[in-house]
Copies of this chain bind each other. A is one copy, B any other.
Amino acid sequence: MSKKAAQKAAKKAEKELRQAAALAAAAAEEEEIDPLADKYGDTKLEDLQSKAVTGRKWTEISELGTDLEGSTVLVRGRVHSKRAKGKMAFLVLRETIHTVQCVVSMENVGSKQFVKYASLLSKESVVDVTGNVSNPRNPVSGTTQPVEIQVTELHCISRSTNELPLLLEDAARSDQDIEKAAKEGIQYARVLQDTRLNNRVLDLRIPANQAIFTVQSEISSLFHDFLRANKFRQIHTPKLIAGASEGGSAVFKLQYANDQPACLAQSPQLHKQMAICGDFRRVFEIGPVFRAEKSFTHRHLCEFIGLDFEMEIKEHYFEIIDLIGKLFIYVFNELNKNCKKELETINSQYPFEPLQYLDETLVLAFAEGIQMLKEAGFETDPLGDLDTETERRLGLLVKERYKTDFYILHRYPLAVRPFYTMPAVDDPKYSNSFDVFIRGEEIISGAQRVHDKDLLLKRIEECNIDPNAIGLQNYINSFSYGAPPHGGIGVGLERVAMLFCNLDNIRKVSLFPRDPNRLAP
């Protein structure tokens, strides 16, 4: 054990000793047996082990409204905050983003020890509270519910340690509030990203995070609902594959059974196209995508959720672009409608302008984008890719001219797209591909794919890819038995969530993010 670790252990032991002493003192004080002792106290574990179905009904904190005034309720929640004042204790109970004040008063409970028990509860402990719903004389600041509970029973069902690695009130404070307080001479602790992620279970409890993951859940549900209503089937392609799906070095390798080398799929690209060759016509997938990224940007993860679809087209990739426009406008409209409260909650910690988008999605040609940049004084290679900075610049120009944060740029140079991209019919330097942007950042890549085997083999050769690579052969062969023209897209779920709310880091929208340095928790 290192000296530092030993010191830490000693300090911890000391602290535990102090706590034990305090508890013993409290116990001693309680030795005079309280006739009301069954009304409060810690619930025994055995009473939480499915001992009986009692028929008791719990009321959700979110449901505590003035209509319940005068009734007795049983509520489960976390101790969000507490304060004692004379012969009273005030607990604020929390359930996700909802909070309610619970009043433990001598007047109601008739036991000093009861009040003390309440005031000694550690923050974040889970408690069951029984009490009467009442109208607070003065509105309770910092709670979401319009009523309070006059407590008659209080049982802690799961104690939190007092040693929280971060305080929720600190983690929930906006930068603006921290800076404002600093000007008034108050120094609030700023919870750094690594501290948050190392203690993600606590960090997830703050209102903004609760809201972010409701929004994220809603995005994938809306993606699902829209595509299902449009006759797409949900598929699940294998993540364990014989060769890299997108080529390049950013691939995780592993040993499969019988020592076969295997890779983790970098996208469902090859298999979703094979599903199209298998007559699935329209498919979508929501699943993890693995990239052995080496960079630490605000927008890259080693594992993220891909929202993919692939569809037959009749004659033009505009059929795909048309569907994307409808899909995302549906997603945005529904988010604004269904997640009003959540978006407000996110906004109060991480202020953002609502996403601006048009009823008819703006579609620009890549060359037009290059021209706009040029006119604004930014020369870019007309046959090169756009880097992140240039994409952002173009986003600003587009926003200025067209009043939209959401647009599609199509007809990219062929050289910057993967081998399976269909070249443009009139100019082989371009391709039938597109990117979709929110607030100047790319969220989607899509294209018409090569469905002709001869052209596919030609493109593979031109891109210096080995057509005999394991995994690629099966894909190539899929086009031997008649293949309809088709195309599709891949979206990063986290990017959509991040950019809809204009958050500054993709780790904020990943439940347990994975980057080159982070494989835990």
A residues bordering B, Cβ < 8 Å? 45-46, 48-54, 56, 58, 76, 78-79, 94-96, 122, 124-126, 157-161, 164, 200-205, 209-210, 213-214, 217, 220-221, 224, 228, 233-242, 252-258, 260, 262, 264, 271, 274-275, 277-281, 286-288, 290, 292, 294, 302-303, 305, 313-318, 422-426, 432, 448, 451-452, 455, 470-471, 474-475, 477-478, 480-485, 493, 511-512, 514-517, 519-521
Contact with A252, one of B122, B161, B254 (Cβ below 8 angstroms): B254
Closest Cβ–Cβ distance, residue A313 to chain B (whole Å): 8
Contact (Cβ within 8 A) B239 A303: yes
Once the chains bind, are A49 and B432 in contact (CB under 8 Å)? yes
Ordered by A's residue number, 21 sampled pairs between the chains whose C-beta atoms are within 8 Å are: A48-B452, A49-B423, A50-B315, A50-B425, A51-B315, A51-B426, A52-B315, A53-B318, A95-B281, A96-B279, A157-B485, A200-B274, A204-B275, A236-B511, A237-B511, A239-B288, A239-B303, A241-B520, A252-B256, A257-B517, A274-B512
Contact A422 B49 (CB under 8 A): yes
A241 proximity list for chain B (CB < 8 A): 519-520
Closest 9 CB pairs of A and B: A204-B278, A474-B521, A257-B516, A49-B425, A160-B482, A254-B254, A217-B233, A50-B316, A217-B234
Given the complex, which residues of B lie within 8 Å of A158, measured CB to CB? 451-452, 482-485
Interface pair A201/B519, CB less than 8 Å apart: no
A315 touches B425 (CB 8 A): no
Q: How far is the CA of A519 from the CA of B240 in the complex (A)?
A: 7
Copies of this chain held together in the complex: 2
Complex CA gap A521/B521 in Å reads 34
Q: A157-B485, A234-B220 are known contacts. Are A242 and B50 too (CB-CB below 8 A)?
A: no
Given known A-B contacts A158-B452, A236-B305, A452-B158, A258 and B517 have beta carbons under 8 A apart: yes
A225 to B481, CA, bound (A): 36
Residues of B within 8 A of A511 (CB): 235-238, 271, 275
Complex formed: what's the CA distance from A459 to B29 in Å?
35
Contact A254-B257, Cβ < 8 Å, known A76-B314, A224-B221, A512-B237 = no
Extra pairs beyond A240-B290, A260-B519, A271-B512 (6, CB < 8 Å): A53-B316, A76-B314, A79-B482, A202-B278, A217-B233, A240-B302
Question: Contact: A448 with B50, CB < 8 Å?
Answer: yes
**Least Cβ–Cβ distance between A508 and chain B, in angstroms:** 14
Chain B: CB-nearest residue to A483: B158
CA distance A50 to B322 in the complex (A): 14
Complex CA gap A158/B32 in Å reads 90
- Asked if A281 meets B315 with Cβ closer than 8 Å, knowing A124-B481, A159-B482, A257-B516, the reply is no
CA distance in complex: A124, B481 (Å): 6
Report the bound CA distance from A313 to B281 in whole Å: 42
Q: Which residues of B contact A224 (CB under 8 A)?
A: 221, 224
Most B CB within 10 A of own CB, among A46, A94, A158, A241: A158
CB-CB < 8 A to A281: which residues of B?
95-96
Establish whether residues A205 and B521, one from each chain, have CB atoms under 8 Å apart when the complex forms: no
Most buried by B among A95, A242, A514: A514
**Chain B residue at smallest Cβ distance from A485:** B48
Tell whether, in the assembled complex, residue B485 and residue A303 are in contact, meaning their CB atoms are under 8 Å apart.
Answer: no
CB distance from A242 to the nearest CB of B (A): 5
Residues on B with C-beta less than 8 A from A455 are 45
Identify A316's interface contact among B52, B202, B426, CB under 8 A. B52
In-complex Cβ contact of A201 among B220, B278, B292 (8 A)? B278
**Minimum C-beta distance from A303 to chain B (A):** 5
B287:A288 contact, CB within 8 angstroms = yes
Contact status A157-B240, CB under 8 Å: no
- In the bound complex, residues from chain B placing their C-beta under 8 Å from that of A451 are 48, 158
Q: Which of B314, B474, B516, B521 contacts A274 (CB 8 A)?
A: B521
Chain B's closest residue to A79 (CB) is B482
Cα distance A286–B223 in the bound complex, in angstroms: 14
When distances are taken between beta carbons in the complex, the residues of chain B under 8 Å from A516 are 257-258
Interface contact B201-A481, CB-CB below 8 Å: yes
Chain B minimum-CB-distance residue to A278: B204
Q: For residue A50, which residues in chain B have a CB less than 8 angstroms away from its CB?
A: 313, 315-318, 422, 424-425, 432, 448
The answer to whether residues A493 and B236 also contact, given A56-B314, A258-B517, A517-B257 and a CB cut-off of 8 A, is yes
Q: How far is the CA of A448 from the CA of B205 in the complex (A)?
A: 22
Least Cβ–Cβ distance between A272 and chain B, in angstroms: 10
User: For residue A422, which residues in chain B have a CB less than 8 angstroms away from its CB?
Assistant: 49-50
Complexed CA–CA distance, A234 and B126 (Å): 24
Q: Give the one of A275, A451, A481 with max B CB within 10 A.
A: A481
Picked from B236, B280, B484, the residue with its CB within 8 Å of the CB of A126 is B484
A214 to B280, CA, bound (A): 9
Question: Which residues on the B side are within 8 Å of A471 (C-beta)?
Answer: 520
Contact A482 B318, beta carbon cutoff 8 Å: no
Give the residues in chain B near A202, CB-CB below 8 Å.
Answer: 278, 481
